Chain A
Amino acid sequence: METSLELKEVQKLEGHTDRVWSLDWNPATGHDGIPLVFASCSGDKTVRIWEQNLSTNLFSCKATLEETHTRTVRSCAWSPTGKLLATASFDATTAIWENVGGDFECVSTLEGHENEVKSVSWNAAGTLLATCSRDKSVWIWEVQPGNEFECVSVLQGHTQDVKMVRWHPTEDILFSCSYDNNIKVWADEGDSDDWQCVQTLGEPNNGHTSTVWALSFNPSGDKMVTCSDDLTLKVWGTESIGMQSGGGFAPWRHLCTLTGYHERTIFSVHWSRGGIFASGAADDAIRLFVDDNSESQIVDASHSIKKHVTIDQTLLLAYDIG
């Protein structure tokens, strides 16, 4: 299958004074006349909110969230309604921000991790939040009225620094990936916050052989792609989408490994809505992959651009190309 895709830089945004580690699009924006918004977070300890101008299509910085985190802000995530922004920091806290009439206020601070928080993720319903840390644990927090957050579970299992947590797009199943080279899947076994590790995807399962840095689901949630310091990307699949509906948890299995596309650590991967996923690596390259859905589940690399990136080696999430 021949697919020709091209990545074109449309704008370079300046403002942060240190490395930009991550960003997230606000899901409630970019349609119905609402200007597209995204948040970026940085080693300069701040978070910046950027908004696209509807006529010029150019982004500008609308707000800088500062004087809250005392160390690098490592990742950020908008709640599904776009009303709240969670920011995870090396200062061991996760801050929750609310947009109050154009100004962002820190309405809650989640403490508990022993050291650097690496990632934060909201579940599809916006009722649960997950965080992970170098302290090897994954925490699950329940969102309560009045912007209160209650920790309902502290998940131990990883033997090293946990790099990222991501909720499944439709089910309340949590995925984490770690410096211990494993991906872990966590589900609530009963109804009473009994969160357990229901699967570990490691070397015996055709898993990664070094730190797993990121994971991302396809829109239908039956496939996931992971990327690693072992220089590969791996695609995983599961049998059924309705994993919790009566039948219990359906395990994930390795579908294919993409090797030879990057020469250095692959830090980021993201599956966009158009059936394309993109990877970003320390070799300064962004590569796009198309899932052609053939029986052998082979994905083809369609384009590669190499661009010197001085500050940001984190993949910019692909703009929704429909």
Chain B
Amino acid sequence: MVTGLINANPIIYEKKQRQQRSTQSLQGDEYTVEPIDHLEVFDILFANFHFCFAFTFIGYRDIKDPEHPYSLEELKVITEEAVEVNDQNSYVRVTFTPTVEHCSMATIIGLCLRVKLLRSLPSRYKVDIRVAPGSHATEAAVNKQLNDKERVAAALENPNLVDMVDECLAPSYE
């Protein structure tokens, strides 16, 4: 399925030092959205010259990328600053940056983010997912799709898509 990498030479950022958090720190913590900390990268095939990364992420900090030994945090796809949480209003907004401007996997990444949050946060939470402004060629279109409740629900009834998302979110053990 793999024909190559879109981003053969990604820019690598220094990984932040962060202590391991326990899940008990969920309530009232500004950075309660732990689930998006850890990401795993793998390639996906496209029929034409346009390739992209698909991102997988897991609950803990082991990231395995067969192509690049770096995490999505190191690739600056997701950073702590990109997660806004207002626990009192039960609101979360995640801003992510696909590594390439035409990344057609942006909607899959966004869907994975949403599912992970859906499975991890209390049901009272309202979640907005968006691509970082200026980071994607069709960002308005991607954002609209990612935040359409009905489209998301329908997508999650597609077994192939759910399998892909589950694979992205599955823990990996080194």
Instruction: Report which A residues bind B (CB closer than 8 A).
Output: 19, 43, 71-72, 74, 90, 116, 118, 134, 161, 163, 179, 210-211, 229, 264-265, 267, 282-283, 308, 310, 313
Minimum distance in angstroms from A11 CB to a CB of chain B: 22
- Contact, CB under 8 Å: B153 / A210: no
B30-63 to A contact mask, C-beta < 8 Å, 1/0 = 0000000000000000000000000000000000
Which of B123, B144, B151, B153 counts the most A-chain CB atoms under 10 A from its CB? B153
Q: Which residues between 148 and 170 of chain B lie within 8 Å of chain A, taking CB atoms?
A: 148-151, 153-154, 157
Query: Secondary structure at chain A's binding surface: helix, strand, loop or mixed?
Result: loop
A163 to B150, CA, bound (A): 9
Q: Given A71-B157, A179-B144, 6 more contacts at CB 8 Å? A: A43-B153, A72-B157, A163-B150, A267-B149, A282-B126, A308-B124
Residues of A within 8 A of B123 (CB): 310
- Contact, CB under 8 Å: A72 / B153: yes
With A179-B148, A265-B149, A282-B149: A116-B124 Cβ-Cβ less than 8 Å: no
Minimum distance in angstroms from A34 CB to a CB of chain B: 34
Minimum distance in angstroms from B124 CB to a CB of chain A: 6
- Contact, CB under 8 Å: A161 / B151: yes
Residues of B within 8 A of A163 (CB): 150
A74 to B144, CA, bound (A): 20
- Contact, CB under 8 Å: A134 / B124: no
Residues of A within 8 A of B126 (CB): 264, 282-283
The total of Cβ contacts below 8 Å across the A-B interface reads 34
Residues of A within 8 A of B154 (CB): 72, 90, 116, 134
Residues of B within 8 A of A74 (CB): 150
Instruction: Report which B residues bind A (CB closer than 8 A).
Output: 123-124, 126, 144, 147-151, 153-154, 157
Partner of B157, one of A90, A211, A310: A90
Name the residue of chain B whose CB is nearest to the CB of A210: B144
28 A-B contacts, Cβ less than 8 Å apart? A19-B153, A43-B153, A71-B157, A72-B154, A72-B157, A90-B154, A90-B157, A118-B150, A134-B154, A161-B151, A163-B150, A179-B148, A179-B151, A210-B144, A211-B144, A229-B144, A229-B148, A264-B126, A265-B147, A265-B149, A267-B149, A282-B126, A282-B149, A283-B126, A308-B124, A310-B123, A310-B124, A313-B149
Partner of B148, one of A43, A72, A211, A264: A211
Minimum distance in angstroms from B118 CB to a CB of chain A: 12
A19 to B149, CA, bound (A): 12
Minimum distance in angstroms from A314 CB to a CB of chain B: 10
Residues of A within 8 A of B151 (CB): 134, 161, 179
A210 to B157, CA, bound (A): 25
Residues of A within 8 A of B153 (CB): 19, 43, 72
Name the residue of chain B whose CB is nearest to the CB of A91: B157
Residues of A within 8 A of B147 (CB): 265
The 7 closest A-B pairs by CB, nearest first: A116-B154, A71-B157, A90-B154, A310-B123, A90-B157, A308-B124, A72-B157
